[in-house]
Structure 1
């Protein structure tokens, strides 16, 4: 059983189905897991995610409850304590003391005539499903070539050819507006992103980030009087501070969402749907999700700053009355991801998307062929429209360093996977050094433990290890594939092998169970040799005896995927130097022989200030370095998390053009779309939004050949395309005059009626 789940169950935390996320990625286990499977969606699986904050309830009292003594009586009667009064009238967050059963307290409160409703403090997860892990190095002249949602010319995205014009006509919309200040109010056009944090230093985002002009940076004073000190760029409600980006919290998701909405037009990287909009980072999701209470605080923050458009790429499967009320009282339009369970949600399931609130747009996902994504939730009642959500390229944070350490000649810990190395010859070079250092001969029995959760739709990286080993001449290799969410091989099984090579690929929710740890420790103690590899293992195993005592590894910082490998002087890996173009003085640092494996920028000062003790147990031998700039900080994600910000960006364009009424913005989006056959009976507005038409840019003239008159030549233009349907070759939306997805008799009649 998963180590985190065991700890959760030990604490009595309820686990239930949550709607997906993502990562994904997505409260999530260690951070949102963005990888999901077509027929068995992981992110909101009931065995994987906590559905609510243990020991906390949200209570709404009846309006006629005016006496503080009445509240005190309710608290005393139910043995609960006030934790905080929320911004919603008559709503409190309360704490249940240890030993009290939550279900009993809820049952008693519901019977109290002074209580309108009571609910848990739910936890929400981001809604991305895949980190496809094919970083795009985007040169200036390549800007946007992968952004099929903006311009689909049929280009191939991750192995799939698109269908031309299955896009949102965003390039045409930019002739109308790019999302700057609102023509209707003259005010700055601000979109709030309620999510994980956002890397506000990313070159595609730094000019798009909202600046609180009422706050003086760094003076330690709440200058604008909103209750938050130095909230220059927004607020982190998860950590309760003003740092809206925490790389160790897994803030990739919010950064990706922000790029889709508002990456600036700077001639490099990508461009957002509304490249002149300002993005307000409101972080409420962290390594263990985000709560109802923190979401409400973020909504209130945005409301007080006058924000009218809010992106919500996250979900929970429980009806949340407190969140619903906060959304409905916000005065803003909320764009919510429909969820990634591949389910019909007309009876609920995924919130806030399934709330019947007038100020919510619920968004499904489609691929570059106009097909409903396999993972996307749907429903003509609770899902309004679809948008691009598969193979979506956007911004991610700059990567962080990782290392590899060896203790004696028995264990080797690698804080990155060999899948991150670009080619097999380089993998062979590293593996050759590892095998020789560990003293493994070509005929020694080797057990490769594949624990990368590829049976649950994460990438399969077995060949990143098996193929180079075979090429090196190691012939006695056995593979053990660990089923998703199960224990690995037994101790007796492992003891049959000279070396156990255990890798975890891109799994974020540590697949190495407590039983696995015990078996690996006993295996090492029995004289076995262990090679442990995984880019996300450090955080979850950092306090384990396996790493600290038996592998000599102390994790100070969490590692992430990065782009270059360099061997340390004085070790067998000294000559390893790969992808050297990314190794620079800015990114390189040294860990001296004999020092603990660590992942921080300044090792000595960090250890001294935190009180860590340096031991000589392990030698850091291999360093995996990031690029010192953001060249590689773009990735493809899948999910309704990616679809929602496309609609958010369109809403921002409409607001900039002067449509300031949120109901009108919603209607314009839902009433102007390109029909898609795959969405019939799946979503309320069965198509992909047409930004150009929504902005009022549709061709109103019947002079289709632009010769100055409406005549028989225009009829001929229609006739030449008669019976062409949306998505077919030679399709041109301007000839579909009634927007029904087919050029037919109705369009001929419209032109005929215009002939004088």
Structure 2
């Protein structure tokens, strides 16, 4: 879920992956704004702070389980959780918690020598690698036990999914690479840097082949929207994405777990990794952290949602699918360090050891910790298609046996109150997706004190995590379940149909047909409700 293709490139080259939603011009902090006052479907954060004037708050620790966080960022360094009991760099577990030099959090994707996992497989690749030796030669007539038959059917479904993904990746890898080669030649012939190229330069350019004509047509459209430099960066990301898909994500011969050096099949193992919470690629996690709690009103960068937060960085997501053991350990670590909210902007279509994650979710539930999970970016119905981890506890046959009371699943919306309000990439589900929150053109922090707009339910989830942290800061007497109930009860209902993807076509539905609450989170109304809850408890 960590990469979403540029809409125009995807639409032109890969119709089966395209997302064609119009990107409207919005203020960079629109997710904090109010519809009545500002004309955008933000969550009314600034309006909520008017209710909180003069009220004291306590710091709330938010665990950011992600791909890494740049703790030195100018807009995050003052809001990072710091383990004051640990002495940095001395190689000693000073606080005796089992994690050496965990100053800003912990990295479960590395080893004690400082090496880190950057790339990994998708979970479907890992599962096929396990099941293939056993089932690749099985015929319909081969005698199997009931358990083996279930595994064999699941394996066949995995192979079909894997084959589709690999075909798409190979197609994308070839075509994006060729297009970039042509565009690089065009840029070289023009004699300017990408940031300098204008529409006039493209109009004046004389193409030499059909592929150049195609890339020029795409480029001209993009210059009118967001500029040539943005388009070129999107193309670079596309090239890297498909290269990583073929070389790592879908490569059955590639397995990076030896870098970590743990006993991978021992799901009770807790103490492995290192203290490098930034890791080799902290873009996604840094962006998520900024949405939650980038320093407010400091005159630089952006304002996060919560104003009294401590970001605890827990690195568990590689370039590829996260592993269930790491997810479970990340949750447990964050809980043990005092996190009251945990953001999980990741997800995958398969699970290796769901029971291990379920156990960690129950641990967080028992410790009064609220978990916020992104719904996913596949434009799918999560009631039908799985997006792990989930709020449902299941048995060995994958039958639902309970539901976590401390869990919120978040879909993504855009800034305008129209039929494109629902982000066209966002997953949804009448039972499985609880609420929606802003997730398009969200400007936030990036490594090396930079900033960038990104799209995704990965951006919507931290908006809700920030709201949860805001409530828990000013009303610490409220439980995780009460905070969840407040957030779900006070959503902004939208009495207007939105466009939702349905297979290869689309249809129009109301938000209450594709989510539990049928609304977008609202900080102003949530604070009003929290105040009422608090008074009733006193």
Task: Report the TM range for the smaller structure's normalisation.
Answer: 0.5 to 0.7
Question: Could you tell me how far apart the structure 1 residues matched to 2:530 and 2:479 are?
Answer: 21
CA offsets 1:123-143 (integer angstroms, 9 cap, x no match): xxxxxx99x99xx9xxxxxxx
1:173 is aligned to 2:153: no
Partner of 2:439: 389
2:519 to 687, 697, 706: 687
Task: For residue 391 of structure 1, report the CA deviation from its aligned partner.
Answer: 0.8
1:349 to 382, 386, 400: 386
Partner of 2:316: 284
Partner of 2:475: 658
Checking the alignment, whether the CA contact within 8 Å between 2:444 and 2:452 is kept in structure 1 is yes
1:369 is aligned to 2:401: no
1:264 is aligned to 2:295: yes
Partner of 2:282: 251
Higher-RCO chain (CA-CA 8 Å, sequence separation at least 6):
2
Secondary structure of 2:62's partner? strand
1:193 is aligned to 2:64: yes
Partner of 1:218: 89
Secondary structure of 2:343's partner? strand
Question: Could you tell me how far apart the structure 1 residues matched to 2:323 and 2:277 are?
Answer: 17
Task: For residue 36 of structure 1, report the CA deviation from its aligned partner.
Answer: 6.6
Task: For residue 652 of structure 1, report the CA deviation from its aligned partner.
Answer: 0.2
1:300 is aligned to 2:332: yes
Partner of 1:150: 32
Partner of 1:40: 16
Q: Which structure: greater strand fraction?
A: 1
CA offsets 1:299-354 (integer angstroms, 9 cap, x no match): 11112112121000000112522212211222321100001111111135112245
Q: What pairs up with 1:553-568 in 2 under 5 angstroms?
A: none
Question: Could you tell me how far apart the structure 2 residues matched to 1:238 and 1:153 are?
Answer: 41
Secondary structure of 1:149's partner? helix
Give me the TM-score of the superposition, normalised by structure 2.
0.57
Give me the TM-score of the superposition, normalised by structure 1.
0.41
Question: Could you tell me how far apart the structure 2 residues matched to 1:664 and 1:211 are?
Answer: 28
1:236 to 96, 107, 118: 107
Question: Could you tell me how far apart the structure 1 residues matched to 2:98 and 2:344 are?
Answer: 23
Checking the alignment, whether the CA contact within 8 Å between 1:261 and 1:275 is kept in structure 2 is no
1:339 to 357, 361, 376: 376
CA offsets 1:140-178 (integer angstroms, 9 cap, x no match): xxxx941111115699xxxxxxx8151111001223459
Partner of 1:669: 487
Structure 2 CA distance for partners of 1:318 and 1:657, relative to 1, 3 Å: same
Task: For residue 286 of structure 1, report the CA deviation from its aligned partner.
Answer: 2.1
Secondary structure of 1:329's partner? helix
Rg comparison, structure with higher value: 1
Checking the alignment, whether the CA contact within 8 Å between 1:179 and 1:274 is kept in structure 2 is no
1:649 is aligned to 2:466: yes
Secondary structure of 2:376's partner? coil
Secondary structure of 1:166's partner? coil
Secondary structure of 2:486's partner? helix
Checking the alignment, whether the CA contact within 8 Å between 2:308 and 2:470 is kept in structure 1 is no
Question: Could you tell me how far apart the structure 2 residues matched to 1:350 and 1:338 are?
Answer: 7
Q: What pairs up with 1:54-203 in 2 under 5 angstroms?
A: 145-151=27-33, 164-177=39-52, 188-203=59-74
How many residues are treated as equivalent by the alignment?
A: 332
Secondary structure of 2:78's partner? coil
Question: Could you tell me how far apart the structure 2 residues matched to 1:317 and 1:287 are?
Answer: 15
Secondary structure of 2:31's partner? coil
Q: Which structure: greater helix fraction?
A: 2
Secondary structure of 1:290's partner? coil
Task: For residue 682 of structure 1, report the CA deviation from its aligned partner.
Answer: 1.3
Provide structure 2 residue ranges, at least 5 long, that are not aligned to the other structure: 111-272, 393-402, 499-510, 533-538
Task: For residue 694 of structure 1, report the CA deviation from its aligned partner.
Answer: 0.9
Secondary structure of 1:315's partner? coil
Task: For residue 288 of structure 1, report the CA deviation from its aligned partner.
Answer: 3.8
Checking the alignment, whether the CA contact within 8 Å between 2:40 and 2:416 is kept in structure 1 is no
Question: Could you tell me how far apart the structure 1 residues matched to 2:523 and 2:82 are?
Answer: 27
Secondary structure of 1:272's partner? coil
Question: Could you tell me how far apart the structure 1 residues matched to 2:42 and 2:107 are?
Answer: 34
Task: For residue 637 of structure 1, report the CA deviation from its aligned partner.
Answer: 0.6
Secondary structure of 2:289's partner? helix
Structure 2 CA distance for partners of 1:245 and 1:303, relative to 1, 3 Å: same
Secondary structure of 1:244's partner? coil
1:324 to 345, 354, 358: 358
Checking the alignment, whether the CA contact within 8 Å between 2:290 and 2:444 is kept in structure 1 is yes
Question: Could you tell me how far apart the structure 2 residues matched to 1:300 and 1:181 are?
Answer: 29
Partner of 1:107: none
Q: CA RMSD in A?
A: 3.3
Checking the alignment, whether the CA contact within 8 Å between 1:364 and 1:643 is kept in structure 2 is yes
Question: Could you tell me how far apart the structure 1 residues matched to 2:276 and 2:92 are?
Answer: 15
Structure 2 CA distance for partners of 1:221 and 1:214, relative to 1, 3 Å: same
Partner of 1:639: 456
Partner of 1:23: 3
